[in-house]
Copies of this chain bind each other. A is one copy, B any other.
Amino acid sequence: MHVTEIETPAIAVDLDVFERNLARAADYAKAHQLRLRPHTKTHKSSVIARMQLELGAAGLTVAKVGEAEVMLRAEPADLLVAYPVIGERKLRRLLEVARHAQVTVALDSLEAAQGLSDAAAKAGMEIGVLVEEDVGLGRVGLTDSHQLVTLATSIAKLPALRLRGFNFYPGQVKAIDADGLAKFHAVNAALEETATLWRAAGLPLEVISGGSTPTLFHSHELPLMNEIRPGTYVFNDRNTIESGAATLADCAAHVLVTVVSTSRASGMIVDGGSKTFSSDRLSTGGEVTFGLLREAPEAKFVKMNEEHGYIDLPAASRHFRIGDRVRILPNHICVAVNLHERVYGIRGDEVEQIWEIEARGKLQ
């Protein structure tokens, strides 16, 4: 199948770039003796997850039990649900998953741990636990190391749980510039304080799990961290470029769209909008545009409706015609992939792979 036979809008992945991204992260993790546990939220494909495992990933990360169920198809030895699992039904499903892979849950409350313990004990099983530290994002996790170790101490006493360590997500580091790196290195102090108190409490500390795509290749600068969970690195996107962690040449996934109208005075309309790209703005808070038109980088993707993308074109770029197919690099590839049923892997001009986005919509 030739790339021009893909009906638009659709996501096409340059396999050469994608494979280079996978290998680079795998090699980096090996070189620095870091366990790589990719977050599968970006691709939501068990086939890609399997590739990551074959390249040496120590396990997989998911956000939801529904994603864990899908990712069993990749036959991971080890799954991290990096999200508190709350509620009896979900816990029952989680324990079913745990019959096929070692499962660990990241959580930040005794309530979540107690529910997990009760369900696991009832099933006669053991589930791993990481306690989440908030190192600056202000999302989930405990900021205070003393409180965190107090919680960990309580969790260690609960039946049917195996306390493995603690985890964090440095989402506040949006750019690898002097300010971002200072923020990232500041995480060290928090990790050290927690680890010291943790060990002093006599708790087992097998895992300190962190990482993100922007900070991926600086992971070794947090010497205590021994596991990283990047997701976006497989494809990269405008956000990754803005963060300084990738170049345009590292971006593997584009949205193919077709020009459907040139009536607009200031430009053209393409056949993808918020139901194709998502309406995510740039995470760094830059200009409000929704993608980079590769065929005319001076164009601005200024507005979206559900199925319409508004592209403003300077006069010199008004050479696009109805029916032209163009490539757009999205702001945020994870939410874009999630809107598609499948993604096309291309090499040169040929479609070599079609990946179903198996875990999209597996929100529960």
Contacts and interface: CB of A to CB of B under 8 A. Distances in A.
A261 interface: yes
Contact of A112 (B139, B274, B322, B335): B322
Contacts of A334: 306
Contact of A306 (B7, B323, B335): B335
Given A276-B363, A279-B280, A306 B41 contact: yes
Nearest to A63: B307
Given A112-B260, A340-B361, A279 B335 contact: yes
B274 A323 contact: no
Given A63-B306, A90-B7, A142 B263 contact: yes
A171 B269 CA distance: 15
Contact of A139 (B269, B272, B275): B269
A5 B64 CA distance: 17
A202 to B, nearest CB: 24
B363 A140 contact: no
Contact of A171 (B84, B276, B305, B307): B305
Interface of A: 5, 7-10, 41, 63-64, 83-84, 86-87, 89-90, 108-109, 111-112, 115, 134, 138-143, 171, 258-266, 269, 271-272, 274-276, 278-281, 305-308, 310, 321-323, 334-335, 338-341, 360-364
